[in-house]
Structure 1
Amino acid sequence: MELQLKGTTALVTGASSGLGIAYATEFARRGADVVLVARREDRLRELADRLTSECGVVATVVPADLAAPGAAAALHADVEARGIRVHALVNNAGFGLHDPFLDADAARTAEMIDLNVNALVALTRAFLPAMAAAGRGLVVNIASTGAFAPCPTMAVYGATKAFVLSFTEALAHEVHARGVQVLAVCPGATATEFRSVSGLHADRMETGSQTPEQVVATTFRALDKGRIGSVVSGGRNALLATLTGWVPRRFATTMAARMLS
């Protein structure tokens, strides 16, 4: 049964491109108002105008750099001040770096941890209590198939996504009885700006690459069925994730290194 989202509001981070646009579009298509969060205000306003025109929903634009200190608290306060109650939170904002750890820029690495981990946890902590109190809500955290094995040349990125996966699965267990559905989504290669930001070779991302819409479709199939915990997007990716759990950790690391080289 399709989730009934009309009359609710979804907040989507990283909504200026790729998966963020696709998630915001699907929530709006299902009748939910949306709060669009990212740094690039011009892109957010273009998306807001389109969703308002095509779906007849209220689209609120909140430009923010979520890696900045205190950004999550400031965003929550902003949304509260507008009188918006968030029923669904999509923690999509994040990025990766494809470099050996010793070669990667230290400040950029710290920014990645702040965005991929700290902001995600802070936003979840800020918006989850109201959902639990109401006995209804959704939290979708974007992890990665990189969460299932160490990722040489993307060591910190893989570790952030392993954190997201573990955190989300544990949280899903904690709050399920309180009516909140929590799900980690683990895409593999997806046709977004991730490859250009991370520095990954394009050909490494093209093989088996999914579209953002395919990832979002996987997400909503799981949500519609009431699934909690985690879901891997794409049959090939699900198989690889399963196989990773069966082989020795060292072998999985070696294979990941070959795939990312």
Structure 2
Amino acid sequence: MTKFPYKTALITGASSGIGKIFAYELAKKGINLVLTARSENKLSQISSDLISKFEIKVSYIIADLSNPTSAKTIVDQLINKNIMVDLLVNNAGIGQWANFLDESMETYTSTIHLNITSLVSLTHLLLPQMLHHKNGGIVNIASGAALQPGPYMAVYAASKAFVLSFSEALYGEYVDKGITVTAICPGNTPTEFQKTANANTEGIPGTTPEQVVKDSVKALLKRESNKIVGTSNYLLSFVPRILPRKTVINLVKNMMNKRVNP
């Protein structure tokens, strides 16, 4: 079995869904963990369980990454605890399935801070120490929605397109310096996202959080710049490459309109 090349991981959005599964998958590999999310109760329970089952070091930091200053607060706490992170999993994210004007600007600002600003900030703050040690991994959870414009989820899809492009750009800059940056594009994955996004995903083929995490870890170890998770999601990724962009917009619009405005 190949030795896992990282010792300590920071996982955002670790209290549920993909982030929680990431914590358990990395714990199985003996990786020490720092978990962050808004729910202290959930993080405390998960941390205790991980320590008991896997005998690793687990810390947690309560933070709301929709606040743009939270990334620095997290890193300051890591410094105070003398924790060196060599694997960053930017998993926390949120979105909305809605007519654009049906959501407030405050909601969209929080979404952008969470999906983009905090992700970039954590990367910017933790990358220097990875470069110093000439070893590091960054996994950024994007989305299948990153692959084409998303009518009725405009801000979410655009934010995930940013994550994909940003990740691939950093991969180009740093892969030869020992840092792997991998963007993950899952399709429909049953997590708490559907509830908070008011997403009607009935009938849409999906992938499990477990599959997303396993594919993410494999892609990271293979030093891939991106990974589209799920067969149906992979096949759909060819549509924007084949059809005219206006046609793709109309296809997504018609599909989403039926779900947002039944």
If the TM-score is normalised by the length of the shorter chain, which range does it land in?
Answer: over 0.9
1-structure distance, mates of 2:251, 2:2? 38
Match of 1:218 in 2: 215
2-structure distance, mates of 1:23, 1:93? 12
2-structure distance, mates of 1:3, 1:260? 44
What amino acid does structure 2 have at the position aligned with 1:193? E
How far residue 99 of structure 1 moved from its aligned partner, in angstroms, is 1.1
> Aligned Cα RMSD in Å?
1.2
How far residue 226 of structure 1 moved from its aligned partner, in angstroms, is 2.5
Report SS of the residue matched to 1:102. helix
2-structure distance, mates of 1:93, 1:2? 28
1:43 corresponds to 2:42: yes
Report SS of the residue matched to 1:15. coil
Structure 1: tracts of 5 or more residues without a match: none
Match of 1:253 in 2: 249
1:122 corresponds to 2:121: yes
How far residue 16 of structure 1 moved from its aligned partner, in angstroms, is 0.6
How far residue 242 of structure 1 moved from its aligned partner, in angstroms, is 2.0
Cα deviation 1:52-93 (Å, max 9, x = unaligned): 111111110100011113111111111111000001000001
1:148–1:245 contact (8 Å) kept in structure 2: no
How many residues end up aligned between the 2 structures? 257
1-structure distance, mates of 2:23, 2:58? 9
Task: State percent identity of aligned pairs.
Answer: 39
2:11–2:34 contact (8 Å) kept in structure 1: yes
1:230 pairs with one of 226, 230, 233: 226
1:3–1:223 contact (8 Å) kept in structure 2: no
What amino acid does structure 1 have at the position aligned with 2:233? N
Match of 1:4 in 2: 4
1:244 corresponds to 2:240: yes
1:3–1:224 contact (8 Å) kept in structure 2: no
How far residue 103 of structure 1 moved from its aligned partner, in angstroms, is 1.4
Structure 2: tracts of 5 or more residues without a match: 258-262
Match of 2:135 in 1: 136
How far residue 94 of structure 1 moved from its aligned partner, in angstroms, is 0.8
Match of 1:64 in 2: 63
What amino acid does structure 2 have at the position aligned with 1:146? A
What is the correspondence of 1:52-91 to structure 2 with a 5 Å cutoff? 52-91=51-90
